[in-house]
């Protein structure tokens, strides 16, 4: 079932969450261990991220360095299939530009369509660690909008080199940034590109994490004023360690509210930090439900316990 159908059929705020594929060497049981505790809250769908290929340099016997491609995490398509088979819920794979040619993207979409997957979240993806900026894969897409257009064309029965009689039927989601994408010069510009995605066929938006609900309120208002009327799902994550006061703003380009950071700095140990972070997100979640958010979407980072504790308090 499509995300939009889940939302339209519900008279209350829904619960969903996002998983990281396990690191190389771990089996599918690590995924199930992260999902099992959260199934009591009846998530209609579960997102599975994708991590692009990266490179390392290995020294040869002659002293020269060899550039070697590797992937840290197993494939998202297989994990989605396993989730749907075991839990009978919709799995939403993330599609990214980086690391894929257009042909490889088409092949992935064919597999997803074959598996009966109804939703995809379309993203540009991050730059490789060694690159200061995002570098498109040769023969691939440079922007999420281009990737979205390819998915839309498949929905219309148009492949890269031929037309097909059985088109896809993907509900397409995209990312939104309540505090602006870090590469956008201003919020107005960011919203203009977001509206282009919606006009091209995006049917829902999932936001970057935020810790101040006013950011989400203002973002939704700005979207509506810009003519964006699809569901906007807030993305949420609890702070679970004191180092995240520095790492989250650096990696995700977000602000930590002063009240939250001050409470964390008062903590005597990491256990207290986690308790403060969870309580903050419980309060955030309750307010978002009162505001009528269609879904609360939690970034679990592969760990079920904090999200379970939050969901237990509010759902």
Active site amino acids: 18
User: CA 258 to CA 249: how far, in whole Å?
Assistant: 13
Query: Can you give 148-181 as a three-state secondary structure string?
Result: HHHHHHHHCCECCCCECCCCCCCEEEEEECCCCC
Is residue 308 within 8 A of residue 274, CB to CB? The reply is: no
User: CA 38 to CA 51: how far, in whole Å?
Assistant: 23
Among residues 71, 70, 72, 83, the alpha carbon closest in space to that of 19 is found at 83
User: CA 295 to CA 6: how far, in whole Å?
Assistant: 10
H or E segment to which residue 247 belongs: helix 244-252
Among residues 213, 208, 275, 270, the alpha carbon closest in space to that of 237 is found at 208
User: CA 218 to CA 226: how far, in whole Å?
Assistant: 12
Tell me the sheet residues that pair with 45. Answer: 90
Mutual orientation of helices 258-265 and 244-252 as an angle, nearest 10°?
Answer: 150
- Residue 229 tokens, joined: 């009327």
User: CA 139 to CA 60: how far, in whole Å?
Assistant: 30
Neighbours of 186 (CB within 10 A): 9
Mutual orientation of helices 102-114 and 76-87 as an angle, nearest 10°?
Answer: 10
């Amino acid at each position: 079932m499509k995300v939009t159908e889940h939302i339209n059929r519900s008279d209350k705020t829904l619960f969903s969450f996002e998983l990281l594929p396990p690191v190389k060497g771990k089996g599918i049981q690590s995924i199930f261990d992260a999902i099992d505790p959260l199934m009591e809250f009846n998530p209609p769908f579960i997102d599975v991220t994708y991590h692009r290929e990266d490179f390392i340099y290995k020294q040869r016997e002659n002293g020269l360095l060899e550039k070697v491609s590797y992937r840290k995490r197993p494939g998202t398509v297989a994990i989605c299939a396993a989730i749907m088979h075991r839990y009978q819920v919709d799995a939403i794979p993330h599609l990214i530009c980086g690391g894929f040619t257009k042909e490889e993207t088409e092949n992935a979409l064919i597999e997803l369509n074959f598996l009966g997957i109804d939703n995809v979240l379309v993203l540009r993806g991050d730059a490789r660690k060694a690159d200061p900026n995002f570098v498109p894969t040769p023969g691939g897409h440079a922007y999420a909008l281009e990737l979205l257009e390819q998915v839309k064309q498949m929905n219309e029965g148009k492949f890269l080199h031929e037309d097909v009689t059985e088109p896809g039927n993907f509900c397409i989601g995209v990312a939104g940034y309540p505090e602006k994408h870090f590469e956008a010069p201003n919020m107005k510009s960011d919203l203009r590109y977001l509206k282009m995605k919606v006009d091209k066929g995006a049917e829902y938006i999932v936001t970057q994490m935020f810790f101040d609900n006013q950011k989400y309120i203002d973002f939704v208002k700005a979207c509506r004023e810009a003519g964006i009327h699809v569901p906007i799902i807030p993305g949420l994550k609890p702070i679970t360690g004191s180092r995240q006061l520095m790492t989250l703003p650096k990696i995700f380009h977000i602000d930590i509210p002063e009240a939250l950071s001050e409470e964390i700095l008062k903590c005597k140990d990491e256990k207290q930090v986690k308790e403060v972070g969870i309580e903050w997100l419980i309060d955030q979640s309750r307010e978002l439900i009162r505001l009528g958010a269609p879904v609360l979407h939690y970034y679990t980072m592969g760990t079920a316990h904090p999200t379970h504790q939050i969901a237990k308090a509010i759902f």
